[in-house]
A and B are shown apart, each in its own frame.
Chain A
Amino acid sequence: MAYRGGDGPGQPLSATFPRVSPGGLSTFRTRTHNICMVSDFFYPNMGGVESHIYQLSQCLIERGHKVIIITHAYGTRKGVRYLTNGLKVYYLPLKVMYNQSTATTLFHSLPLLRYIFVRERVTIIHSHSSFSAMAHDALFHAKTMGLQTVFTDHSLFGFADVSSVLTNKLLTVSLCDTNHIICVSYTSKENTVLRAALNPEIVSVIPNAVDPTDFTPDPFRRHDSVITIVVVSRLVYRKGTDLLSGIIPELCQKYPNLNFLIGGEGPKRIILEEVRERYQLHDRKIRVRLLGALEHKDVRNVLVQGHIFLNTSLTEAFCMAIVEAASCGLQVVSTKVGGIPEVLPENLIILCEPSVKSLCEGLERAIFRLKSGALPAPENIHNVVKTFYTWRNVAERTEKVYDRVSLEAVLPMEKRLDRLISHCGPITGYIFALLAVLNFLFLIFLKWMTPDSVIDVAIDGTGPRGAWTHHQYSHNKRGGDNNEISKTR
């Protein structure tokens, strides 16, 4: 649909900004995509989804695709911004409702999203995170506009309570006509297939990755006279901080030369402080140190100070923290929940049941191994781990998904309605079929108001052949935006 309107005015661009020489082009793939990542979660918010989107986009740009990101405005950060390599980010002025997720009416975001999809000539919409309302909105509109859709699920969800029943129903509706779904682990795939009642063939497993150069070991930073256990996580119930509060006194009383180093902030910090107070673990020398919230760049400096990394999560789709720790050469002790058993090979991780007793046993085994000196050097562990997960690999595999999706046909309206009604149950199905029809009518109205030919095609600024990296004009022209880049980075 976006391509159809492509030969309106706005084409003089190609004359204004000549592309790089054909020799340069030959290194790129023959088929490139215009990808639009949509999620409520992006920088300056910090987290796994945010860094996933950023890193994946950068690697896709490196491979010659055009990538833009759409998210909602964060405070004063609204409008259009550019990040490294001309990665364009739209911060749309939509109302934030809860937990950085926007409110949804299914319709109000259509005019803006449609305008952006058309002006950027987007062919594939890639939404992230099932908690993001904007991601689902974008999927819904993209299907109405006849664009290909991909969705990445980053989280696990149970089936037990009322809230999960409702969210799972919405996920079913949202994913029943999505072209392809990506999950970060096999457990996550099983979970998503069950939640959204999907055909498992259209669900791919592509793990997250870690930048191995950021997490290198440094054995001189740690003191070998004592054993240090590092914990880096948000201090909340789901990350098992309660278990940690049981492990600390148990082990500190047993091993006099054992220290804990805890990075992260959260509502459960208070119970750790209570434990420290009660067992007087900070009298002469500090045995339990709480570092508070850590910035991502400081995580490595904390990790290398320890010998053992402890993860007490109660649920986890793909645990990045344990990969980071292993990459820094630490022994990893973790609970056996969610996708964690799939992440690291058995010789690099000690898996325990989510209980204080089992975790203590696991830690004692790690301490014993450490004392017996039967451990490989951190440098060797790093060299093994760094081959496991790289963003380049993730981008390559995601690209295959795009290639496959771009060959598929988008369901036409009548088939989409059939799918909704047959797949989502009689009541929900009919309601959302009606909404889809309304959305379609709204789109026709918008096309009548501002036809595709009136919408300017945006200048492609991504990647090495981006508009302003090769041409003197373009360089000047983008002066202001370059300034903004330096501000953002």
Chain B
Amino acid sequence: MEEEQSFSDIYGGRLALQHRYYSRSCREFCLSCPRLSLRSLTAVTCTVWLAAYGLFTLCENSMILSAAIFITLLGLLGYLHFVKIDQETLLIIDSLGIQMTSSYASGKESTTFIEMGKVKDVIINEAIYMQKVIYYLCILLKDPVEPNEISQVVPLFQSAKPRLDCLIEVYRSCQEILAHQKDTSTSP
């Protein structure tokens, strides 16, 4: 079963949330941002080149122009490979664990896995971020020594930064699975 919903991020941009219900104990959430638009790419390139041309007319050194070309190219590569995240996926499997994958625009993927035994809870928290106060979803990890304490907080969807309505959607599903997992682990 798969369904897709549209939400917005904290800046007002569009986000698409895909649910995939594989089974009662396995779900996947996929948050995807719009791809890099040609318009913004053109705008940035034009500004850099115009600035470079302005500098060139001032000091009449053609090195500046070639440097500008290199900077735009390298900048674009770096941006696509290290900064721009197109998709963030949260795969949560009862009895196994939680896997977070972020795919960069260049195709690079980075994956983190947290096994269920370490997960204490999934919550929505508030934080001050830049000049904003935002809600974010995070996983609380158990302290290995004292199981009632929290050792670490792992924030989810760090690059997409969806708004509260989207977070609640994901949060509910996670809670259902966690509750299910608790039931099954305590009942036998």
Contacts and interface: CB of A to CB of B under 8 A. Distances in A.
Contact of A9 (B11, B134, B163, B172): B163
B84 to A, nearest CB: 21
A458 B125 CA distance: 11
A9 B168 CA distance: 13
A456 B134 contact: yes
A119 B133 contact: yes
B148 to A, nearest CB: 9
Nearest to B134: A456
B10 A480 contact: no
B8 A9 contact: yes
A13 B131 CA distance: 24
Given A16-B168, A456-B134, 15 more contacts: A10-B164, A78-B128, A80-B128, A111-B132, A112-B131, A112-B133, A115-B132, A116-B133, A450-B12, A454-B8, A454-B10, A454-B12, A457-B164, A477-B123, A480-B138
Given A450-B132, A478-B123, A480-B140, A473 B175 contact: yes
Contacts of A92: 128
A478 B135 CA distance: 12
Interface of A: 9-10, 12-13, 16, 78-80, 90, 92-93, 111-112, 115-116, 119, 450-451, 453-458, 473, 476-481, 483
Contacts of A10: 163-165
Contact of A93 (B128, B163, B168): B128
Nearest to B128: A79
Contact of A90 (B121, B125, B133, B138): B133
Contacts of B168: 12, 16
14 contacts: A9-B8, A9-B163, A13-B164, A78-B128, A79-B127, A111-B132, A112-B131, A453-B12, A456-B163, A456-B164, A477-B123, A478-B123, A479-B123, A480-B123
B124 interface: yes
Nearest to A91: B128
B175 A481 contact: no
Given A93-B128, A112-B131, A456-B164, A477 B171 contact: yes
Contact-residue bracket for chain B = 20 to 34
B126 interface: yes
Nearest to A108: B131
Contacts of A112: 128, 131-133
B71 interface: no
Chain B residues touching A, majority SS: strand
A13 B124 CA distance: 14
A66 to B, nearest CB: 16
Given A12-B165, A79-B127, A112-B131, A476 B12 contact: no
A458 to B, nearest CB: 8
Contacts of B8: 9, 454
Given A450-B132, A473-B175, A480-B150, A9 B165 contact: yes
Contacts of B164: 10, 13, 456-457
**Which 10 A-B pairs give the minimum distances between C-beta atoms?**
A111-B131, A454-B12, A456-B164, A80-B126, A480-B123, A479-B121, A115-B132, A12-B165, A112-B131, A456-B163
Nearest to B125: A480
A481 B12 CA distance: 27
A458 B171 CA distance: 16
Interface in B149-184: 150, 153, 163-165, 168, 171-172, 175
Interface string B93-130: 00000000000000000000000000001011111100
Nearest to B126: A80
Given A111-B131, A456-B134, A79 B163 contact: no
A477 B128 contact: no
B185 to A, nearest CB: 17
A112 B128 CA distance: 9
B125 A481 contact: yes
Nearest to B178: A476
B12 A79 contact: no
A454 B10 CA distance: 6
Nearest to A453: B12
Nearest to A478: B123
A389 to B, nearest CB: 35
A298 B128 CA distance: 36
Nearest to B120: A479
A81 to B, nearest CB: 10
Which of A10, A458, A477 lies at the interface centre, i.e. has the most chain B CB atoms within 10 A of its CB?
A: A477
A243 B131 CA distance: 49
A115 B131 contact: yes
A391 to B, nearest CB: 28
A305 to B, nearest CB: 40
Which of B124, B125, B126, B163 lies at the interface centre, i.e. has the most chain A CB atoms within 10 A of its CB?
A: B126
A477 B124 contact: yes
Contact of B11 (A16, A450, A453, A456): A450
A390 B8 CA distance: 48
Nearest to A483: B150
B133 A454 contact: no
A457 B121 CA distance: 24
Which of B10, B135, B140, B164 lies at the interface centre, i.e. has the most chain A CB atoms within 10 A of its CB?
A: B164
Contacts of A458: 126, 133
Contacts of B125: 480-481
Contacts of A16: 168
